[in-house]
Structure 1
Amino acid sequence: MRLAALALSTALLAGCATAPTLLPGSSRSEDVIAAYGQPKRIWPEADGGRTLEYSSQPMGRHCYMVRLTADGRLVSIEDGLSAANRARIEPGMTPEQVSRRLGTERSRVFFPLSGEDVWDWTIEPDQTGYGLRFNVHFKAGVVTRTTQSMVFPSRRFPGMDD
């Protein structure tokens, strides 16, 4: 038993030792791309910098937004799908403002009867253990509200969501 625990601890420590270390102020865009690959999107910033989007949608639960200065130095890494960022989505925001905050959505569905376009993102589950989706409802090109929906496992196709 002790030998198995020691082997597991060694493997975990070895994995940690190989993880890239990115440091704000000294790491550069080349370091970020070498560590994490090409971003899904690049957002220009008003100050000449840019934000690299690393979205894990549709199946993942995070979207890392890597902020760089105009000369390519790392400023910060933030999860666009954190609870704090989701709380910043307010009525009146445009689709571009929402995308810049949360990253690429999992899906978009238009509901003709209500005239709503609903975008969703897979997010971390709550205490129930079921999957969750964060939904942003747009009407006439602006956010009207946000909701969350629970995702139940499929009975017909185990391992898939309904």
Structure 2
Amino acid sequence: MRARLLQAVFFTVVLTLSACATPLIHSPVFETESQLLAARGSPTRVWENPDGTRTLEYATQPYGWTCWMYTVDRDGRIVEQHDALAPENLARIKPGMTKAEVDRLLGAHRREHFYSLSGEEVWDWNIRNEWRGVLFTLFNVHFKGDVVERTSVSYVYNWLDPDAM
């Protein structure tokens, strides 16, 4: 019983701390790269785009559930911003895409697993969760080799909530 109580306290602390580190669902609208950098600091990664623009990635994995992408033109103006982990962007992942394409589209992932029996490598991302009793919702991308085979969603339930099961 004591072990369960300690686990409950641990999960509560982890969730509380991760919520503090997670940006709001809606990012403020930035007009320039200098405004963005002053407000958000250094990006997780910077992507060079073929048209000469750059995309600044602000990933919050492994505990957060957003990944804001800001596209900056040559003059330092932000021409687009979106959450890469929004449902409409997750829906863009299709069989046949490469790991590099998925990485670019969704941003840094939370974790990788390899399943030797199926030969699949699975990357996952924490995503927004609206379900009562669910601690985490994970979006999974299943690869065979370097190519997307399929996607799935996993739920980690709060076993302390009697309505969760």
By the TM > 0.5 criterion, same fold?
yes
TM-score range, shorter chain: 0.7 to 0.9
2:100 is paired with a residue of what secondary structure? helix
Structure 2 CA distance for partners of 1:101 and 1:129, relative to 1, 3 Å:
farther
Are 2:71 and 1:67 aligned?
A: yes
Structure 2 CA distance for partners of 1:21 and 1:145, relative to 1, 3 Å:
closer
Are 2:101 and 1:111 aligned?
A: no
> What amino acid is the match of 2:69?
M
Are 2:46 and 1:42 aligned?
A: yes
Alignment of 1:5-154 (within 5 A): 22-23=29-30, 27-130=31-134, 131-153=136-158
Structure 2 CA distance for partners of 1:128 and 1:21, relative to 1, 3 Å:
closer
Distance in 1 separating the partners of 2:137 and 2:120: 20
Higher Rg of the two aligned structures:
1
Structure 1 unaligned regions, length at least 5: 1-19, 156-162
1:38 is paired with a residue of what secondary structure? coil
> What amino acid is the match of 1:54?
Y
**How far off is 1:152 after superposition?**
2.0
Task: Tell me if the contact between 1:47 and 1:70 (Cα under 8 Å) persists in the aligned partners.
Answer: no
Distance in 1 separating the partners of 2:156 and 2:148: 23
- RMSD value, Cα: 1.7
Distance in 2 separating the partners of 1:84 and 1:43: 21
Distance in 1 separating the partners of 2:154 and 2:28: 35
1:30 is paired with a residue of what secondary structure? helix
2:102 is paired with a residue of what secondary structure? helix
> What amino acid is the match of 2:156?
V
1:136 is paired with a residue of what secondary structure? strand
Distance in 1 separating the partners of 2:28 and 2:64: 22
Query: How many pairs align?
Result: 133
Tell me the TM-score normalised to structure 2 length: 0.75
Distance in 1 separating the partners of 2:81 and 2:59: 13
Distance in 2 separating the partners of 1:68 and 1:40: 15
Task: Tell me if the contact between 1:22 and 1:31 (Cα under 8 Å) persists in the aligned partners.
Answer: no
Identity of aligned residues (%): 45
Structure 2 CA distance for partners of 1:154 and 1:38, relative to 1, 3 Å:
farther
